[in-house]
Structure 1
Amino acid sequence: MNITGRLTRNAEVRTLSNEKQVVNFSVAVNDSYRNKQGERVEQTTFFDCAYWITPNVARLLTKGTLVELTGRVSTRAWTGKDGEPKAGLNFHTSNIKLHGSSRRAETPQATEQADNNGFTAQGTEDDLPF
């Protein structure tokens, strides 16, 4: 499954007890449709994402960055501290494609880091090789 959205917070790297590292981040996916009355309805879905392949990608995943993710979705349910039932969506990411960066991270240095790590940001039409 593919989803495209913006990061809602900076990515964080966690080290588990078995020394494996996981990159955790959250993505908001916006969608819109017209209801039966013809009114435009906008809807945002939030995904808590996990990426297990390399922790180096975390420094590129900053709040506001537009990303396309490939992976699988799972659901989770729990009881909150207030005793109310809660639910959420997890996205187990196997591939990350950067489509741009947050305004805060748009520097030549950030682009250079993206290129050196095999991640490429979406360029302009002037960047095409033909």
Structure 2
Amino acid sequence: MIKLQLVGRLGQNATEAFANGKKVINFSVAHNERYKNKQGVPQERTVWVNCAMWEPGAVMSYLVQGKAVYLEGVPWVNQYQSLAGETKAELRLKVTYLQLLPGPKQEGGGSVHEMPEAIVQPADDLPF
């Protein structure tokens, strides 16, 4: 099995759906990569990963746009045809472990969005 670890920020609030009688939440995570090209000029590239988490429990309310997360899961590439007829691909992740990372501190010392411990799901129990 291939396992992917990802740290990034949510691009939008998570959405909820049902498939095969099971609840799934979908969200996208962006990771900014900074590097210098051969000429030494700073560059930045954003990599987007579309994520699906099956039977997520009560975590959806914490998955809001801009929230930093650490994820582990099984990656796969989804190929599709664009409206223009081009073959395209997207990186997707079946999330098996999710941990919200600390947000900005408030005056009282707590984070803006505090959450219970990380959520772990067995990779074998995913319905696809």
The match for 2:66 is 64
The correspondence for 2:16, drawn from 13, 16, 20, is: 13
- Which segments of structure 1 move beyond 6 Å, counting only runs of 4 or more? none
Against the structure 1 CA distance between its residues 119 and 48, is the aligned structure 2 distance closer, same or farther, given a 3 Å change threshold?
same
- Note the 1:84-95 alignment, pairs <5 A: 84-95=86-97
The aligned length equals 112
Against the structure 1 CA distance between its residues 64 and 40, is the aligned structure 2 distance closer, same or farther, given a 3 Å change threshold?
same
Query: What stretches of structure 2 of length at least 5 have no aligned partner?
Result: 120-128
The correspondence for 1:46, drawn from 38, 48, 69, is: 48
Give how far 1:109 is off.
Answer: 8.4
Give how far 1:102 is off.
Answer: 8.0
Structure 1 residue identity aligned to 2:17: R
Question: Quick check: 1:24 aligned with 2:26?
Answer: yes
Normalised TM-score (structure 2)? 0.77
The match for 2:7 is 4
Give how far 1:54 is off.
Answer: 2.0
Higher helix share: 1
Percent identity of equivalent pairs: 32
Query: What stretches of structure 1 of length at least 5 have no aligned partner?
Result: 121-130
